Chain A
Amino acid sequence: MSRPPLLVVRDLAVTFPGTGGLRLQAVRGIDLDLNDGEALGVVGESGSGKSVSMLGLLGLLPEQAKVTGSVLFRGQELLGMAPRALQAIRGARIGMIFQDPLTALNPVLRVGEQIVEAIRIHHPGVSRKAAMARAVDLLDLVSIPQPRERVRQYPHEFSGGMRQRVMIAMAVANEPELLIADEPTTALDVTVQAQILELLQDLRSRLGIGLVLITHDLGVVAGTADTVAVMYAGRIVEHGAVDALFEAPRHPYTRGLLAALPTLEVADRPLVGIEGRPPSLRERPSGCAFHPRCAFAQARCRVEMPELRHVGSTWSACHFAETLPPGLDVGTPSPAHAADGGR
């Protein structure tokens, strides 16, 4: 391809100010690659830093946050770009949709006006009438019935799933090359979730846009993504093609997530969770952040932070990635480990 790759992220790191003058490291060492038309799933529990990474990428974090590293969008460096230039890219070449469409849409503006705004910010020459007509077309594109009437309604007059469709319509209004979806289905019913994911897939194939899908739900990623990055405590702990990751995960956390997925295939299987809770920003453990909850943890894990390296068919940040039992075995926690209290 003669065009530079869609998205190349290297060593992205984000820090926030904490109390007493210290800075807290929210995210570090993030490397991502995305090509045209591909879909990348970013998976992690809350607090893993997945949203922060994406917001940092686009310069949407509050001023106190400091973002370092390199983000090349079609070869252009986004970090440190002048605000005006960034604004020109946001909403036009990179679209973003958020988790809760009720709070993510302006409650006092009509839906049509919000879409029109998205269009006219980047195409000021377009008349209101033309923009409104396009808004109607967009609502139709995302399968909202009676778009001509609905375009004049307020967000609270729509159901959750419909609102999310509106958000998607708004995000693709200017035919972006990349779409970032931050937990687009989390606030929705399961049945509606499937519809939204289908819509995203549909748009992807029709408009050829690249997709970054952020979620805590591995099931969502399975059907939609080409590659998956698993994040924990601000780092990527495993990264690879979706099939490879699902069949032969090489990080205990990934395995834990997969094991926790309820399945209809095996009856009477007890639900398996991962013991403990993900650490908050201030309380990250030393060494490998996952070690307090990991059944395979050894002394080394407590001390040394593992680097991301190629293991089998995926990249994994685990000292013992090669030696993990095959398949999806998550192992059983040892009594001494359980007494550790997860700290």
Chain B
Amino acid sequence: MIALSRPVLARRPDWATLPVLIGAAIVGAWIIVALTIHWWSPYDPVQLVGRRLMPPSAEHWLGTDALGRDVLSRTLYGVRHSLPIAALVVAVAVLIGFLLGAGAGFVGGILDAVVMRLVDVTLSFPPILLAMAVTASLGPGLRNAAIAMVIVWWPVYARLMRAQVLAMRGREHVDAAVTSGARPARVLFTHILPLCWSPIIVNASMDFGQIVLLVASLSFIGLGAVPPTPEWGQMISEGALHFYHWWIAAGPGIAILTIVLGFNFLGDALRDILDPRSR
């Protein structure tokens, strides 16, 4: 080998780039906060613990809000609402999307036509409008907001799964399984599905951030979390009312920013690993 310079010392694996590490660190930190905050939170998020509308100080690092609650504690507790909801919505949306999409792709015919029309129509709406409409119909509250978001999001995965299944159906090993007499369900589950997962995972990881933003947006409008729940969107809405007391909105805003950024970094990195074509 005609080499011209000395080899560099062994490097870390390709995927462990800076964004990935930062993203993982951020998301990891928030998960830890979510799991442990009740042990070390400076104050109770719902109790009135200080004078109202105090700017950041040594006792209240992010000051107090309009009712005298500690902003920092409320900000940290907020993750206990946003994160599980996002996870739940993504999980259910993927599940429904998978069932309907894979079913449509595999079975074809009427099921396919109906499901795809449903997908097309649902995707014709700007997501937030549809979520607003659904939540308004069902009534405010995080639970209904979650249902609304599942309704808005499942078509994305349905379409994805269907495309994957259709692509896989033509493969030889599927034909082999079918001709050897395997039942359709078995073919679907053991031969096709294991190969379909990577775009789903990539999409889901990128969607986590979007869902967190959507939850916050709905809460901001007043359709998601109801006071006194310390949900970030809700807090920013309160902060908007007391505009000159900037710290009330600052905390939750930065929280959203960091966690969504973390998810975006991770999602980007996952995509680079699992789908090298998109580099």
CB closest residue in chain B, given A283? B1
B8 in contact with A25 (CB, 8 Å): no
B2 in contact with A284 (CB, 8 Å): yes
A23 in contact with B4 (CB, 8 Å): yes
B4 in contact with A21 (CB, 8 Å): no
**B58 proximity list for chain A (CB < 8 A):** none
CB closest residue in chain A, given B6? A21
| B3 touches A (CB below 8 Å) | yes
Contact-residue bracket for chain B = under 10
| B5 touches A (CB below 8 Å) | yes
A15 in contact with B4 (CB, 8 Å): yes
For B7, give its contact among A21, A25, A282, A284 (CB under 8 Å): A21
B3 in contact with A23 (CB, 8 Å): yes
**A24 proximity list for chain B (CB < 8 A):** 2-3
Bound-complex Cα distance A224 to B2 (A): 35
For A282, give its contact among B1, B4, B8 (CB under 8 Å): B1
A20 in contact with B8 (CB, 8 Å): yes
For A25, give its contact among B2, B6, B11 (CB under 8 Å): B2
Bound-complex Cα distance A22 to B11 (A): 14
> 1/0 per residue A6-48: CB within 8 Å of B?
0000000001001011111100000000000000000000000
Bound-complex Cα distance A299 to B1 (A): 18
Bound-complex Cα distance A20 to B12 (A): 11
**B5 proximity list for chain A (CB < 8 A):** 21-23
Bound-complex Cα distance A15 to B5 (A): 11
**A20 proximity list for chain B (CB < 8 A):** 7-8, 11
- State the Cβ distance, A26 to closest chain B Cβ, in Å: 10
Bound-complex Cα distance A300 to B6 (A): 27
> 1/0 per residue B1-44: CB within 8 Å of A?
11111111001000000000000000000000000000000000
Which A residues between 249 and 283 are near B, CB-CB below 8 angstroms?
282-283
For A284, give its contact among B1, B6, B8, B11 (CB under 8 Å): B1
Task: Please name the 9 residue pairs, one residue from A and one from B, whose CB atoms are nearest each other, closest first.
Answer: A21-B8, A23-B4, A22-B3, A20-B7, A25-B2, A20-B8, A284-B2, A23-B5, A21-B7
Known: A21-B8, A25-B2, A284-B2. 6 other contacts (CB 8 A): A20-B8, A22-B4, A23-B4, A25-B4, A283-B1, A284-B1
Binding site for B on A (CB under 8 A): 15, 18, 20-25, 282-284
A-B contact pairs, 24 of them (CB 8 A): A15-B4, A18-B3, A20-B7, A20-B8, A20-B11, A21-B5, A21-B6, A21-B7, A21-B8, A22-B3, A22-B4, A22-B5, A22-B7, A23-B3, A23-B4, A23-B5, A24-B2, A24-B3, A25-B2, A25-B4, A282-B1, A283-B1, A284-B1, A284-B2
